[in-house]
Each structure stands twice: as structure tokens, then as C-alpha cells.
């Protein structure tokens, strides 16, 4: 954690503890400015112990936030690869009466059903590769 990203406030603790709690600035509040996460600690009589505890709690909260963000990103990438599994998720349509083949992922339609059925998928593959490269480029520019 970068010290520049933190705002540390020291204030008087409240609650049980008598005069020592009421007269010393022993409570600590740490705010992580980029995320807005706030941790407040006033369990100990010592300001240094409270600060150490607050930093430990803040570190664990930031770790949890980062881990959940990474997990969500990984889940989104995996969902994009796997798809929804829904029956309506079409990849290609073969229309025999019209001699038409349509790839719905890239909206490419060709009227060469016989050649496609014989294995000539090069035009579809090239278009899919170009679409994938464009999507990756757009994703890398967005980061």
C-alpha cells in the first residue's frame, strides 16, 4: 500500500477506559483515498498499536476487493469463451433450399453451401480471426 494513497486521522477514542481514553489521541482512522475504504480502530490504549491494527484490517480489505475484482474479470472472460449454453445461441445456419450459410457470430453470409459442406471454411475462419483480433485490440486499448 502506497503511503501517498492513505489519509490517516488521529482523534480521541470514546467508550470505556476513563481519563486515559478521553485525554489522549489514541484512536486512528485510515482512509484509502483511491477506493474510499475507511478503517477506524480504537481498541488499544496506544496510538501506534491502533494504527498497526487499522493497517492490517485495511490491507485485508484491499486484498479482498482486489481478489473479488480479479475473480469477476476471470469469470467474465470464461463466460465469453464458454457462452451461455442456451439453445438459442446460434453459431452457423445452413439453409439448403437457398444454398446459404450464415455465421451469426460475425454476420457473414455466403451462398456456397456445397463448398462449405466439403470443408472450405477458410473465408469464415479468416473473418473470425479478424474479428477476434479487433476485439482483443479494442480490449487492450480500453485498459
Q: Same structural domain for residues 42 and 77?
A: yes
Q: Same structural domain for residues 62 and 17?
A: yes
Q: Which domain holds residue 71?
A: 3-82
> What CATH number does the domain containing 58 carry?
3.30.160.20
Give the whole-angstrom CA distance, residue 39 versus residue 32. 9
Q: How many residues does the chain have?
A: 143
Specify if 87 maps to a domain: no
Distances in whole angstroms, Cα of residue 106 to Cα of each of 36, 87, 102: 41, 18, 9
Which residue blocks in 83-121 are alpha helix, DSSP H? 113-117
Q: Is 138 exposed, middle or buried (0-12, 13-18, 19+ CB in 10 A)?
A: exposed
Q: Same structural domain for residues 30 and 67?
A: yes
Task: List pLDDT tens digits, range 2-42.
Answer: 889 999 999 888 777 667 667 788 899 999 999 999 999 98
Q: Same structural domain for residues 112 and 135?
A: yes
Tell me the average pLDDT across 96-121.
Answer: 91
Kindly give, in sequence order, each residue whose CB lies less than 8 Å from that of residue 61, ignoring residues fewer than 6 positions away.
37, 39
Task: List pLDDT tens digits, range 59-92.
Answer: 999 999 999 999 998 888 887 677 666 666 788 8
Amino acid at each position: 500500500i502506497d503511503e501517498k494513497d492513505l489519509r490517516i486521522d488521529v482523534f480521541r477514542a470514546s467508550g470505556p477506559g476513563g481519563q486515559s481514553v478521553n485525554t489522549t489521541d489514541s484512536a486512528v482512522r485510515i482512509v484509502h483515498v483511491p477506493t474510499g475504504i475507511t478503517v477506524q480502530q480504537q481498541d488499544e490504549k496506544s496510538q501506534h498499536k491502533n494504527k498497526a491494527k487499522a493497517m492490517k484490517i485495511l490491507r485485508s480489505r484491499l486484498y479482498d476487493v482486489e481478489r473479488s475484482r480479479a475473480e469477476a474479470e476471470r469469470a467474465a472472460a470464461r463466460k465469453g469463451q464458454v457462452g451461455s449454453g442456451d439453445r438459442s445461441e446460434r453459431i452457423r445456419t445452413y439453409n439448403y433450399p437457398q444454398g446459404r450459410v450464415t455465421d451469426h457470430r460475425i454476420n457473414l453470409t455466403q451462398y456456397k453451401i456445397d463448398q462449405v459442406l466439403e470443408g472450405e471454411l477458410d473465408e469464415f475462419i479468416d473473418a473470425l480471426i479478424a474479428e477476434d483480433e479487433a476485439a482483443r485490440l479494442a480490449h487492450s486499448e480500453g485498459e
